[in-house]
Amino acid sequence: MTIRTADRLLRVEEYYFSKKLAEVAQLKENGADIINLGIGSPDMPPHPDVKKELVYACDQTGSNHYQSYRGLESFRQAIAHWYKSIYDVELDASKEILPLMGSKEGIMHVSMAFCNPGETVLVPNPCYPAYLSAAKLLNINLKFYNLKEENNWLPNMEEIESLCDDSCRMIWTNYPHMPTGANGNMEVFKQLVDLAKKKNILVVNDNPYSLILNDKPESLLKVEGVSEFVLEMNSLSKSHNMAGFRVGMLCGSEKNINHVLKIKSNFDSGMYKPIQLAASKALALDTSWYKELNINYQKRRNLVWSLADKLNCKYKKNSVGMFVWAKIPDEYNSGEDFSDHLLYNKSVFATPGIVFGQEGKKYIRFSLCATEETIIKAIERCEKNVETLVNI
C-alpha cells in the first residue's frame, strides 16, 4: 500500500538543480574533483557590518518573537530609501512594500493572488523555471513568449499581444534577464506596461540582478502612472551576497500589495527580526559595496570568457548579471550533451540552457560564483587534450 499523493505532484518535477547537484555530489564522493560553475549562489560573504548586526540582533530580547506580517517598519523604510537611491523610484514604506523571504517565495504568492486555475500567465522562454513551477502547481495555463538572440533577448511585443487573450491575467518579465544576461531598458518596460494597460492585466518584473555588472539599474516601477498594472520583486540574494538569508521584497501599489499580503499572511508569520535588521544594514551600504563586488565579478567574467573561448563557445560581451550565457559549438546537438561532455570529461559543471526553456537548447550557462583560482583551474583543464578526470 502506498499513500496517495495530490495530482499537482504529477504536474511538476523535482527542481533540476536538486537532481543534478545530487549527481555532482555523488561524483565528488567517488573522488572526482568537480568544479561547479552551475549555480548562481554567491560565494563571497555579505558586508561585515551585516553579519555584525545579525549576531547583535540575535542576542536582543524579543528577537525570537513572531514578527509583523508586513515586516518591520524600519526595514520597509530601508527598502524605500534603497529604491529611491538605486532606481529613483518613490515608494510609500507603509503601504507599497512587502518584505519577502526571497523572490522565489514571491513568485508563488503573486501567482496565487492574481491567477485562477485555468487562466493564463505569459512567461519568457528562456526563463527562471520557478515561474513555470508556480503556474503548474496552481493549475494556471502557461504561454511562452520567445526571446531570441537576434532580438537581443528582448520581447517581441507583437507576439506578446497575440498571446494575450481573455484568459490572460499576468505577464512575467525579468530584466536584467536570467539566464541570457540581456539588459532591459525603460522603452521595453514602457511597451510592456502599455500592453498591460490595454489588456487590463498585470506585468510583474523580477529584478534580482540589476546591481551585478550593470551600470544603469532600472525598475519597472519607474514607468509613470501605471501602479495598478505593475509589481516588482527584488532580492538581496545576489546584490548583497545574502542568498541563504532568504530576504527580498515586493513593491507596487497599496492595493496590489494587500492582495499578496492576504495570501502570504496565510503561509508564514513574518521574517526573523535579526534578518530584517541585517538586511536593513545591507541596503544602507554606500555605493563602494557594489563597486567592490563588481570588480570581483568583472575579473571572474573575463576569465569565464577565456574559458568559453577555449571551448569554442560564442557569447555577447554586453550582457549583465552573474552568468555568462554562451552558444555551444555546432558539433554538439544540445547544451545538455555539451554540459555532460564537460562534466564527465573535464569535471566542470555548467548548466545546460534547456533548463530554462527550448530557446536555450543550444546554449550553456556559466556562473560567476566561483573564485578566480577555480575558474583558472577550469580553463587549464579545458586546455588539456587529456579527457577525463571523473571516475564514474
Ligand X SMILES: Cc1ncc(COP(=O)(O)O)c(C=O)c1O
Q: Which stretch binds ligand X (CB under 6 A): 65-73, 101-109, 118-126, 355-363?
A: 101-109
Q: Which stretch binds ligand X (CB under 6 A): 65-73, 97-105, 140-148, 370-378?
A: 97-105
Using the rule CB under 6 A, which residue among 38, 40, 124, 353 binds ligand X?
A: 40
Using the rule CB under 6 A, which residue among 38, 71, 124, 208 binds ligand X?
A: 208
Q: Does 183 bind ligand X (CB under 6 A)?
A: no
Q: How far is the CB of 359 from ligand X (least distance, A)?
A: 15
Binding mask 122-141 for ligand X (x = CB under 6 A): ------x-------------
State the number of CA atoms in the 13 A half-sphere of 79 facing the CB. 31
C-alpha cell at 177: 534577464
Q: How far is the CB of 215 from ligand X (least distance, A)?
A: 20
Tell me whether residue 128 or residue 153 sits nearer to ligand X (CB atom).
Answer: 128
**Contact predicate 219/181, CB 8 Å:** no
Report which secondary-structure segment, H or E, holds 193.
Answer: helix 186-199
Tell me whether residue 24 or residue 130 sits nearer to ligand X (CB atom).
Answer: 130
Q: Does 174 bind ligand X (CB under 6 A)?
A: yes
Using the rule CB under 6 A, which residue among 36, 67, 103, 253 binds ligand X?
A: 103
Q: How many CB atoms lie within 10 A of CB 42?
A: 21
**Contact predicate 92/80, CB 8 Å:** yes
Q: Which residue has the cell 530576504?
A: 247
Q: Which residue has the cell 497575440?
A: 162
At position 17, the amino acid (one-letter code) is: F
Q: Does 104 bind ligand X (CB under 6 A)?
A: yes
Report which secondary-structure segment, H or E, holds 249.
Answer: strand 248-252
What is residue 315's three-state secondary structure? strand
Q: How far is the CB of 103 from ligand X (least distance, A)?
A: 4
Contacts (CB under 6 A) with ligand X, residues 283-342: none
Q: Does 248 bind ligand X (CB under 6 A)?
A: yes
Query: Nearest 5°: CA angle at 219, between 217 and 222?
Result: 125
Tell me whether residue 113 or residue 247 sits nearer to ligand X (CB atom).
Answer: 247
Q: Does 237 bind ligand X (CB under 6 A)?
A: yes
The answer to whether the Cα torsion of 309, 313, 314, 317 is positive or negative is negative
- Tell whether omega for the bond before 176 is within 30 degrees of 0, i.e. cis: yes
374 burial (CB, 10 Å; 0-12 / 13-18 / 19+) is: middle
C-alpha cell at 309: 573561448
Q: How far is the CB of 243 from ligand X (least distance, A)?
A: 5
Using the rule CB under 6 A, which residue among 235, 239, 241, 256 binds ligand X?
A: 235
**Contact predicate 348/378, CB 8 Å:** yes
Number of residues lying near ligand X (CB under 6 A): 13
Tell me whether residue 178 or residue 282 sits nearer to ligand X (CB atom).
Answer: 178
Residues that bind ligand X (CB under 6 A): 40, 102-104, 128, 174, 178, 206, 208, 235, 237, 243, 248
